Amino acid sequence: MAKPRVRVPVDELRTLVTETFVAAGMSPEHAASTAEPFIWANLRGIDSHGVSRVPRYLELFASGESNPAPKIEVHRPRPAALIVDADRAPGPLALTEAMRAAIAAARETGVAWATVRATTLSGAIGYYTGLAAAAQMIGMGIVAGVPNMGYHGAKGVGVATSPLSIAIPAVRHADLILDMATAGIALGKIAQYRINGEELPAGMALTAEGEPTTDPSVAKIPLPVGGAKGSGMSLAFELVSSGLAGNPIVAPYHSGTPEGRRHRQNATLIAVDVSAFADPGEYATNVDDTIDAIKALPALEGAEILYPGERGAATYAERERDGVPLAPKSWEELAQAAAGLGVAVPELAGAVGAEQG
């Protein structure tokens, strides 16, 4: 039985995180942009990419792996090609600026592609593709990072759990936001198997020594989804994102040097202006009708038919109204980090709920 969570009103949480980033050396504008994707992730129920990550950012600032005062440069070598040099900016800041630039360029060129070089911890990538959907565009995104997943057929760590996101604007329904890792299972899910005393399905994880296991207590390295499919996508995402950024990650990692293992990420964000191709009203009607058709399929026993992002949109509405539930440990770590930088931490009057963590 997990401890009850605390509920933090979203505006207070946003203010706290923004002020913490300012206290850590960010400009107010950069701090607000950086805070937003964390808040969004918590509102959407993606707590693993929410404000619990903020203390990690402060560590990355302290170690020099991330830069609180980056000079982000947006180059546009050709009309539809953007290179965003992130200068080790936090991912939420760099990717937000990159997607905004891609959206602006796509209004002219129909499609725009932003390669983001040298960023750190990108957070929930669906936030950035969702910015495109909110602008009536299709948003696509992939991220390349330091290897933490197996490669099909190999022992140990090979490639990263690099995510893919596709966001599609809808009207009657909430926007479709696919946001998936290329791993077959998340580390958090492995922990749930361990807590429940259940064996993992075969082909989901390796031990720390790199051997296959179905024992969740020794499973440390997730395996790619669909075997060669997941690791093939991850490898391709590295060559697309890190390759075009001129900032390779996978090859240096396996060279075994300390520099090769330093935390860093590269990303690709694409904005596609629907109005360049189709009537936006007809497009939206087709999206809504297609979602209706999927939702109307007969469900398997015990299953619920959801489209990507549907549950997140419902959670968002609920948490925006009732506050963001946080595990007490997450809240304490965030509050301590903020207080340590001299930021005023709000009192959570009546904020203790009875939910499970």
Q: Which residues pair with 224 in a beta bridge?
A: 183
Does residue 307 belong to the site contacting its own copies (CB under 8 A)? yes
From candidates 18, 20, 242, 330, binder to its own copies by CB under 8 A: 242
Does residue 328 belong to the site contacting its own copies (CB under 8 A)? no
In the bound state with its own copies, the residue whose beta carbon lies nearer, of 22 and 135, is 135
Does residue 218 belong to the site contacting its own copies (CB under 8 A)? no
CB atoms within 10 A of CB 314: 14
Nearest approach, Cβ of 91 to its own copies (angstroms)?
19
In the bound state with its own copies, the residue whose beta carbon lies nearer, of 284 and 335, is 284
Nearest CA to 9 out of 349, 357, 277, 243 is that of 349
DSSP state of 166: E
From candidates 305, 317, 339, 344, binder to its own copies by CB under 8 A: 305
In the bound state with its own copies, the residue whose beta carbon lies nearer, of 47 and 85, is 85
Nearest approach, Cβ of 155 to its own copies (angstroms)?
4
Neighbour-count burial for 62-94, b at 16+ CB within 10 Å, e otherwise: eeeebbbebebebeeeeebebbbbbbbbbbbbb
Is 82 in contact with 146 (CB distance < 8 Å)? no
323: left (phi over 0), alpha (psi -120 to 50) or beta: left
From candidates 74, 81, 341, 345, binder to its own copies by CB under 8 A: 81
Relative orientation angle of helices 328-340 and 54-63, to the nearest 10 degrees:
40
From candidates 239, 317, 339, 352, binder to its own copies by CB under 8 A: 239
**The CA-based dihedral angle spanning residues 129, 133, 136, 137, taken in that order and rounded to the nearest 10 degrees:** 30
Nearest approach, Cβ of 94 to its own copies (angstroms)?
16
In the bound state with its own copies, the residue whose beta carbon lies nearer, of 225 and 343, is 225
Does residue 246 belong to the site contacting its own copies (CB under 8 A)? yes
Does residue 251 belong to the site contacting its own copies (CB under 8 A)? yes
Residues 6+ apart with CB under 8 A from 195: none
Q: Where are the beta strands (DSSP E) in 58-110?
A: 73-78, 81-85
Q: Which stretch binds its own copies (CB under 8 A): 6-14, 34-42, 224-232, 337-345?
A: 224-232
Which residues in 257-286 contact its own copies (CB under 8 A)? 272-274, 276-279, 282-283, 286
- Tell me the HSE value of 233 on the side-chain side, using a 13 A CA sphere: 21
Nearest approach, Cβ of 278 to its own copies (angstroms)?
5
From candidates 73, 108, 215, 355, binder to its own copies by CB under 8 A: 108
Which residues in 139-178 contact its own copies (CB under 8 A)? 151-156, 158-159, 164, 166, 168, 176, 178
Does residue 300 belong to the site contacting its own copies (CB under 8 A)? yes
Which residues in 178-217 contact its own copies (CB under 8 A)? 178, 180, 184, 201-202, 210-212
Q: What is the C-alpha to C-alpha distance for residues 181 and 254, in angstroms, rounded to an integer?
A: 21
From candidates 294, 317, 339, 344, binder to its own copies by CB under 8 A: 294
Name the CA radius of gyration of the chain, rounded: 20
Is 10 in contact with 39 (CB distance < 8 Å)? yes
In the bound state with its own copies, the residue whose beta carbon lies nearer, of 135 and 343, is 135
Annotate each residue in 39-68 with x if it binds its own copies (CB under 8 A) or - if it does not, as one string. Answer: ------------------------------
DSSP state of 344: P
Relative orientation angle of helices 28-44 and 10-23, to the nearest 10 degrees:
140
